[in-house]
Amino acid sequence: MQSIEQLSDKIGVRVKGVDLSAQLNVDDFDFIYQSLIDHKVIAFSGQNLSPEQHVAFSQRFGTCDVHSNNQYLLDGFPEILVLSNDLRDGQPIGVVDAGVEWHSDLSWQIDPPLGSILHCLKTPSTGGNTGFINMAAVYRELPDHLKMMVENLEGVHCVSKLLNPRVTISENRVNAREFYAEQLEKHPPVTHPLVYRHPESGEMILFASPRFTIGIADIPQDEGQSILDELFDVLEETNARLEYQWAEGDVVMWDNRSVLHCAMGGYSYPDIRLINRTTVLCSETTRLQRVV
Ligand SMILES: O=C(O)CCC(=O)C(=O)O
Ligand SMILES: [Fe+2]
């Protein structure tokens, strides 16, 4: 029988009593889906999943994304992106520094995904936590003048770090500048309303992140940056957050439409962290909606 246990006051639950390696019945799947919508981050302990089973579970939610950073897709499983600091023959086997600033996955695309599903295969002896922030709660916490200001504005989102004054380029990535310049050519900036409505919970969501929101459309650059500074100060302050400490065999999924997340770091080679990730795309009915 499924049950949930709260992981923090305002975001996240652990779902118990389900085995994700099995073909889930409709009742179990509906329970999991509703827990995701209600609590935004759902965690499962002790899951022994093959890559096939990880992909099969993910596909219950929708079509899986194949990440454009195709260097680190798992052999034979293009739906799985490997996150790791491990090396093989001196070369990284996965993305070393994925998600080290607060972000919503792929918000730099026109249709951001529904969620990501991470399966933890190896934890370092210290560090390696993942932080989550409830962006519906953050919207509610905005002071009135900011709420009014953001209502009609569009954020500019871009994957390339070259255009973002808030991030630094990692020393760990080989040929980082060339990599980000190429990325900018392949993925020019897109815009999203700063406030979206969640299609399933109906909540208003502040949709912006220090990693991918590089400015505000149609207003001068310095004004845009100071509005973003004010918004991101609220992220620092909010208590609608969770810092998840991984154990091997954990599966964690987040609603990418309504949370920001961040890899907290704090470990280094040869202390190994290894996580397989899938990302599920939205459908017409689950994509974020303009408020209008
Ligand atoms: O490794 C983590 O803790 C999170 C990485 C991340 O941002 C992601 O998988 O989307
Ligand atoms: Fe991420």
Please list, in sequence order, all residues whose beta carbon lies within 8 angstroms of the beta carbon of residue 98, skipping any fewer than 6 positions away: 81, 83, 263, 277
Rounded to an integer, the average pLDDT of 69-84 is 94
Cα of 217 vs centre of ligand 1, distance in Å, is 27
For residue 28, which phi and psi values (nearest 5 degrees)?
A: -65, -45
- Domain spanning 3-97+113-129+242-255+268-281: CATH superfamily: Clavaminate synthase-like (3.60.130.10)
Structural domain boundaries in the chain: 3-97+113-129+242-255+268-281
User: Does the pLDDT value for residue 284 go beyond 70?
Assistant: yes
User: Does the pLDDT value for residue 179 go beyond 90?
Assistant: no
For the chain, give the mean pLDDT.
Answer: 95
Residue 1 pLDDT: 86
Using alpha carbons, select from 107, 109, 144, 101 the residue that is nearest to residue 230: 144
**Ligand number, closest to the Cα atom of 279:** 1
Cα of 29 vs centre of ligand 2, distance in Å, is 24
Residue 70 pLDDT: 85
Q: How far apart are CA 168 and CA 242, in angstroms?
A: 24
| Sheet architecture: strand order including 190-193 | 190-193, 154-157, 213-216
CA 271 to each of CA 45, 54, 172, 245, 277: distance values in angstroms, whole numbers, following the listed order: 22, 25, 16, 16, 20
> pTM here?
0.95
Return the percentage of the chain with pLDDT > 90, whole number. 88
Instruction: Please state the separation of Cα 27 from the chain's center in Å.
Output: 26
Rounded to an integer, the average pLDDT of 66-87 is 93
**pLDDT by residue (tens digit) across 28-46?**
999 999 999 999 999 999 9
- Indicate the SS3 state at residue 181: helix
Rounded to an integer, the average pLDDT of 205-233 is 96
Please list, in sequence order, all residues whose beta carbon lies within 8 angstroms of the beta carbon of residue 121, skipping any fewer than 6 positions away: 248, 274, 275, 276
User: Does the pLDDT value for residue 68 go beyond 70?
Assistant: yes
Residue 195 pLDDT: 97
Residue 267 pLDDT: 96
**pLDDT by residue (tens digit) across 255-281?**
999 999 999 999 999 999 999 999 999
CA torsion, ordered 265, 215, 137, 249, to nearest 10 deg: -30
Q: How far apart are CA 292 and CA 154, in angstroms?
A: 13
**pLDDT by residue (tens digit) across 146-167?**
999 999 999 999 999 888 989 8
CA 284 to each of CA 56, 62, 185, 289: distance values in angstroms, whole numbers, following the listed order: 21, 11, 28, 10
Q: How far apart are CA 154 and CA 217, in angstroms?
A: 6
pLDDT interval class at 66 (50, 70, 90): very high
User: Does the pLDDT value for residue 172 go beyond 70?
Assistant: no
Residue ranges lining ligand 1, Cβ < 6 Å: 83, 98-99, 105, 116, 118, 130, 261, 263, 275, 277
CA 243 to each of CA 9, 99, 127: distance values in angstroms, whole numbers, following the listed order: 12, 14, 11
Q: How far apart are CA 57 and CA 53, in angstroms?
A: 6
Token pair, residue 243, equals 């810092």
Residue 99 pLDDT: 86
Using alpha carbons, select from 260, 255, 276, 259 the residue that is nearest to residue 62: 255
Cα of 285 vs centre of ligand 1, distance in Å, is 26
Taking a C-beta distance cutoff of 8 angstroms, is the pair 122, 274 a contact?
yes
Q: How far apart are CA 111 and CA 25, in angstroms?
A: 29
pLDDT interval class at 176 (50, 70, 90): confident
**Ligand number, closest to the Cα atom of 277:** 1
Q: Which amino acid is at 41?
A: V
Looking at ligand 1, which atom is closest to the CA of residue 273? 1
